[in-house]
Structure 1
């Protein structure tokens, strides 16, 4: 079955807001291929290309894509089937005033390293395996991540550089092939957009970037009506674990939100009181850092699928 392709050339956004005009309307249950450009729109091609400041328009997110039937109060399920790199190089870099160690005098700001793709087909070899990227002669496995993915917001307009309850710049390594991401729907059609992908990225995204790269992403979009538990923020099902995602100004706030959201799921699944869910989360849950460099930080709380399934 041929998939419709939605490309960044068809349309992309630099903000998620309550009023968004779709570039495509998908049917409930439709499978698509989404083409994304790297977070810097191809401006960084060589190691001599430096980023003197974070651009006003960054992290172009392909879309928005309206999903027929999605209404406020529903949940949008985004099943990520595959993420493929679509160019022969990535780029990892620093910029002044950005990143975890932005004030370290021994680290160059700005700095750029081009990460050439080896194997995996994007370099023209025609291989099926994911391949590697080269960093200073070291092979790093390609494990693609979608950095920015989200839906129309409830009220505020939010830059694609910033994560929040609608998703956005979550920079979470689990947002990759094999994971289903669930978003609360705030506006009719949901208005999904995504981009800012990386060929490889560590939890934390310490320098402020992964290996930024263009990608092709296969997804299936489904609307869940009348969910038994209505999420306030994105949720992940990796197949091995259920994970709550939360973004806030501080890591303490983010992990409190992520843990609180997990308690909602545990009380529903097990019939626990909230106290029992809190105690149980401290036995089987695991707090994880997604990123520490964006205008808000993002954390997740993971519970193995043996102990929890999502109520939709």
Structure 2
């Protein structure tokens, strides 16, 4: 297994980054990841008003996948997420969906024990580990890891978790793949602008799908197909994710656009990744549809 240590990080997805290693299709890789603030928030006196000199949401990588060419698809299977013993969540005054009420900067350290997050001495809840940032290098200009896009990036979807397969478009030779911004838990919407930000070790397997071109990332779980969209306006992000699902269903099930449209309306759900920054920061949306087995008519998994 390849191990990529957390000192090998970038703050953008770019075709100009030198790869930190090379892997083959079928290889297994462990990415050691920093939290969204690169390990600088260690106590509740470390507040989010402290400027970060380098950037936010570092991604470990990028990795060069041998044989990957523009027009291919990279399938990344998330096999394991091992969390550090503590993470943090916080409020940055004036931001998030309740920014108009949030007057104070607050940091809360969250202790992790096994599968449990300890909010304080009284309140605890199960962890739900997920990968917030995952992507490949875009064809043209670099995109900061703070932002989502057709390359992936900061999508913040709960479904990017253990057992899921994330399908990413390849725009440049080698794909230049990286990931980071793990959350121990994050609700849909990421309401305060943060989940439980935490360092982690993420083990993945990569598979190169030659000659299969996709426009945007999509996710496959044991029982669902999930397409993604992002845009500054929520309704536009929903439209993009719906267009992607219509296209996916036409490919998977050999149905017409009209049939795909109807299936989406009958069985699909629109869910929010993050929509916590209204100031033209892209909202991320996913459409989740239970898998349909085309060999067994009228059967939803």
TM-score (norm 2): 0.92
In 1, distance between residues paired with 2:201 and 2:39?
Answer: 15
Deviates more, 1:275-284 or 1:166-175: 275-284
Cross-structure match for 1:27: 24
Helix, strand or coil for the counterpart of 1:277? helix
CA contact (8 A) 1:266 1:308 kept: no
1:18 aligns with 2:15: yes
CA contact (8 A) 1:254 1:297 kept: yes
Q: CA deviation at 1:96?
A: 3.5
CA contact (8 A) 2:71 2:214 kept: no
Cross-structure match for 1:183: 168
Counterparts of residues 1-312 of structure 1 (less than 5 Å): 3-9=1-7, 11-52=8-49, 55=52, 57-86=55-84, 88-104=85-101, 107-118=102-113, 120=114, 131-136=115-120, 137-227=122-212, 230-293=213-276, 295-306=281-292
In 2, distance between residues paired with 1:222 and 1:74?
Answer: 11
CA contact (8 A) 1:242 1:308 kept: no
Structure 1 stretches of 5 or more lacking a match? 121-130
Q: CA deviation at 1:293?
A: 2.5
TM-score (norm 1): 0.89
Helix, strand or coil for the counterpart of 2:67? coil
CA contact (8 A) 1:149 1:168 kept: yes
Q: CA deviation at 1:53?
A: 5.6
In 2, distance between residues paired with 1:217 and 1:139?
Answer: 24
In 1, distance between residues paired with 2:40 and 2:294?
Answer: 44
Question: Would the alpha carbon gap of residues 217 and 281 (structure 1) be closer, same or farther in structure 2, given more than 3 Å must change?
Answer: same
Q: CA deviation at 1:275?
A: 1.9
Deviates more, 1:173-182 or 1:132-141: 132-141
CA contact (8 A) 1:76 1:222 kept: yes
Cross-structure match for 2:299: none
Q: CA deviation at 1:308?
A: 7.2
Q: CA deviation at 1:225?
A: 0.7
Cα RMSD, aligned residues only: 1.6
Aligned pairs, number: 290
CA contact (8 A) 1:102 1:109 kept: no
Q: CA deviation at 1:54?
A: 6.1
Helix, strand or coil for the counterpart of 2:110? strand
Structure 2 stretches of 5 or more lacking a match? 296-301
Q: CA deviation at 1:307?
A: 5.0
Helix, strand or coil for the counterpart of 1:21? coil
Question: Would the alpha carbon gap of residues 112 and 178 (structure 1) be closer, same or farther in structure 2, given more than 3 Å must change?
Answer: same
